[in-house]
Chains A and B, each alone.
Chain A
Amino acid sequence: MVAINGEKVQAQGKTIGQYIEEAGYNKDRVVVEINMEIIPKDKLDTIILNEGDSVEILNFVGGG
């Protein structure tokens, strides 16, 4: 299992880019962190999710 935005999901073995697209996130509008490390956009399709990874998929929202 991989923890994505706090939820445990079966995503190990997929690239993070693949997961993002399948789950329905807007790939151009998110920034990804895996185990506290920022993933550059051009690495999304090469980095494979491993069992126990902790992933944050973030985007901008309205704020002051």
Chain B
Amino acid sequence: MEDKLILGGHEFNSRFILGSGKYNMNLIKAAVEQGGAEIITLALRRANTQESENILDFMPKGVTLLPNTSGARNADEAVRIARLSRAMGCGDFVKVEIMHDAKYLLPDNYETIKATEILAKEGFVVLPYMYPDLNVARDLQNAGAAAVMPLASPIGSNKGLTTKEFIRILIDEIDLPIIVDAGIGKPSQACEAMEMGAAAIMANTAIATAGDVPAMAGAFKKAIEAGRTAYLTGMGPVLTRGGSASDPLTGFLR
């Protein structure tokens, strides 16, 4: 059975979106390969003449780059960063990320909707990072988002699916891919989100700060695939009380 992730008309086989922050450059390529990720996020910053290495030289061929708008504090700044990123000539994808609080790094949903509307009209494939709120997700869909990216926990916290029930509401009600982003700390949490019906998982810190980075990327790959298969297969019912024997209840030895 073909099971593709479709974002703005582009098809992907992998449901693992890998962040590229906090790595030794040489590990990124191995992490991408071991994780099988086809979409990699990047950030745009002031260039530095002292740095001879550029992250684009460490990206395996064929991956889709997903620049984020980190650093943007409002919609106008996000639009500016998105346009500059597109001018790099690496495609039309953008992850809108707007925040103005350095403690919790929570997204500003209102500004995110505004930026999404402008960028979608300009032909970007817009993936907005958002706090999981059903009304906001509907607004983002109406604004032209290609998916929504609700947070599981604060960025970099590795705390897992603390917003689980609200992400579930988005999965049930929004007719767009729901990509769980931020806070996923281990493969089991990625698997759980996929079992719920998330379309993909975006992770960075959990992999970048692991003891063996490429191996952890591989573990996430397996967990995401397992969760996806479980979701598609249809899981058995959960009993409210009591048990249900797996063995025949007749023919006992006496």
A-B contact count (CB 8 A): 88
Interface range for A: 20 to 34
Return chain B residues, CB-CB under 8 Å to A63: 19-21, 41-43, 68, 70
Whether B116 sits at the interface, judged by CB under 8 Å, is no
Contact B84 A59, beta carbon cutoff 8 Å: no
Return chain A residues, CB-CB under 8 Å to B182: 64
Whether B189 sits at the interface, judged by CB under 8 Å, is no
CB of A57, distance to nearest CB on chain B (Å): 5
- Known contacts A24-B49, A38-B87; decide if A62 and B28 are in contact (CB<8 Å): yes
- Known contacts A61-B55, A64-B68; decide if A31 and B46 are in contact (CB<8 Å): no
Which of A31, A41, A57, A60 lies at the interface centre, i.e. has the most chain B CB atoms within 10 A of its CB?
A: A60
Interface hits, A8-64 → B, CB 8 Å: 23-26, 29-31, 33, 36, 38, 40-41, 56-64
What's the Cα separation between A12 and B155 when bound, in Å?
A: 42
Select which of B20, B43, B45, B56 is within 8 A of A29 by beta carbon: B56
- Nearest neighbor of B204 in chain A, beta-carbon distance: A64
Contact B45 A59, beta carbon cutoff 8 Å: yes
Contact B43 A61, beta carbon cutoff 8 Å: yes
Main secondary structure of the interface of A (DSSP, over half): mixed
What's the Cα separation between A38 and B67 when bound, in Å?
A: 17
Interface range for B: 35 or more
Contact B155 A59, beta carbon cutoff 8 Å: no
- Known contacts A29-B56, A62-B28, A62-B55; decide if A57 and B46 are in contact (CB<8 Å): yes
Contact with A along B124-166 (1 / 0, CB 8 A): 0000000000000000000000000000000110000000000
Select which of A5, A38, A40, A41 is within 8 A of B47 by beta carbon: A5
Point out residues on B near A: beta carbons under 8 Å: 19-23, 25, 28, 41-47, 49, 54-56, 65, 67-68, 70, 80, 83-85, 87-90, 155-156, 182, 202, 204-205
Point out residues on A near B: beta carbons under 8 Å: 5-6, 23-26, 29-31, 33, 36, 38, 40-41, 56-64
